[in-house]
Structures are given as structure tokens and as C-alpha cells.
Amino acid sequence: MLAAVLQVRDGRLRVLLWQRARQPHQDRWSLPGGRLRADEDVETSIRRQLAEKVDVHTLSHVEQLAVFSAPDRVPGHRVVATAFLGLVPSDLDPAVPADTSWHPADDLPPTAFDHAGIVPAARDRLRAKLSYTNIGFALAPAEFTVSELRRIYSAALGYQIAATNLQRVLSRRGVLRATGRTVAAGPAGGRPPALFAFTSRDLQVTDPFAVLRPPT
């Protein structure tokens, strides 16, 4: 059981890794995880495992990614890993152990075992779902300006997108709502920007793609 926990932090999409203090792969960076217990399903288990590294209440979304099962993926006793994607909203700074820190998902430090292959799978899953679901709710604070949301989406996607385009796309899907509140006006004056929220914090497919629809 392993999880690639992703968060937009300091303008980049980052992944939570811990540095191994012992062999094998001493000093290399690992995804958090651990063993499945007899009384757990894999979803319950990964949340318990993650609790050792990060406050799981900060996890806004967790989903299965894939099974990694090369017989020699770790030395010694054979371990099959069910990998998960986890997400943390950008406004949280969860306490993590001293051996644990956030690293750019596109620029990993030396990683242990096959973990360097799991991070891109998680990143690509997130990027795909940003296009056809409301998964942005899991990266964003509860309330945000369009400008803040643009920075979050741009960091997660890995390229800059336009705020007008983002607002148009998300509004058309009905996943954004204006809260009626605004940011407190700064010293420069001017109209304070409006605060928005996602209409749902459950994952929904907003753009079901069915090029071969039934004839109407």
C-alpha cells in the first residue's frame, strides 16, 4: 500500500516523501504507506498508513491508482503495492514528521524502489481529471478568488492557463458558485475580488465524453 499525496505548494505541484533512515535504499525518498491488515480494505488501510505521516483529515480526496507488482520491485520478501492518489488543499500546511517533506512532482529527489514511476502516474491521473471532473475542489481552499484558482490549476497542470478561460469552463459546468463574499480590500483600494467555492466536494464527472451517443 503506497500513496502519492499531491498538493499545490509554493506555486508547484508537490508530492509528500519521507527519507529512508536505513537500508535498503538508505537516504532515498519514499512514498508513505505500509502493510494491509486482515480487517481492512485497501482504502481504509492507506488512510491509516498515511495517518503516520500526515493528518488524514487534511486529505480532500483519495483514489486507487494502480497495482505495482514487478517481482523484484523491493529487495527481500515479495511485496505487491496497491498505489493511491491522495490530494491536500493548497491552503493547508499539515504537520509532518522530521523525515518527511514536499518535493516537486516533476523534479524528484533520488527515490526508493519503483516509487519514481508511481509519482508520474498519480500526477497524470490528476491532470486528466482536472479536465473532465470537478477534482479542483480537492486542490483548492474552501473559498478562493478566480486568480487564486488559476494559480492552483496552472501549477497542477504544469502550464499557465488564463483566468477568464478557467472561470468560463468551470461556470459552464456549474461546479463553481459565487459565495457573495469578497476578499478584504487591500491598502491599494479598488474593487475587492469576489470569493468563489466549489458547489460539491464529492468527485463528479462533469464532462462525460460520449462521442458515439445514441441517435436521438
The footprint of a copy of itself (CB under 8 A) covers: 36, 38-43, 64, 66-67, 69-71, 78, 80, 82, 128, 130-132, 153, 157, 159-162, 165-166, 169, 207, 209-215
Measured from the CB of residue 179, what is the shortest distance to a copy of itself in angstroms? 22
Tell me 193's DSSP state.
P
- How many angstroms separate the CA atoms of 80 and 16, rounded? 21
Q: What letters, b where the CB count within 10 A reaches 16 and e where it falls short, cover 30-46?
A: bbbbeebeeeeeeeebb
Measured from the CB of residue 32, what is the shortest distance to a copy of itself in angstroms? 18
With respect to a copy of itself, which residue has the nearer C-beta, 67 or 185?
A: 67
With respect to a copy of itself, which residue has the nearer C-beta, 29 or 166?
A: 166
With respect to a copy of itself, which residue has the nearer C-beta, 21 or 210?
A: 210
Measured from the CB of residue 40, what is the shortest distance to a copy of itself in angstroms? 7
Distances (CA, A) of 53 to 6, 18, 144, 204: 13, 8, 27, 28
Measured from the CB of residue 131, what is the shortest distance to a copy of itself in angstroms? 5
With respect to a copy of itself, which residue has the nearer C-beta, 168 or 181?
A: 168
With respect to a copy of itself, which residue has the nearer C-beta, 142 or 162?
A: 162
Measured from the CB of residue 175, what is the shortest distance to a copy of itself in angstroms? 12
**Among the listed residues 125, 146, 130, 157, the one whose alpha carbon sits nearest the alpha carbon of residue 196:** 146
Cα angle at 157 between 129 and 199, to 5 degrees?
50
**Among the listed residues 144, 135, 143, 142, the one whose alpha carbon sits nearest the alpha carbon of residue 173:** 135
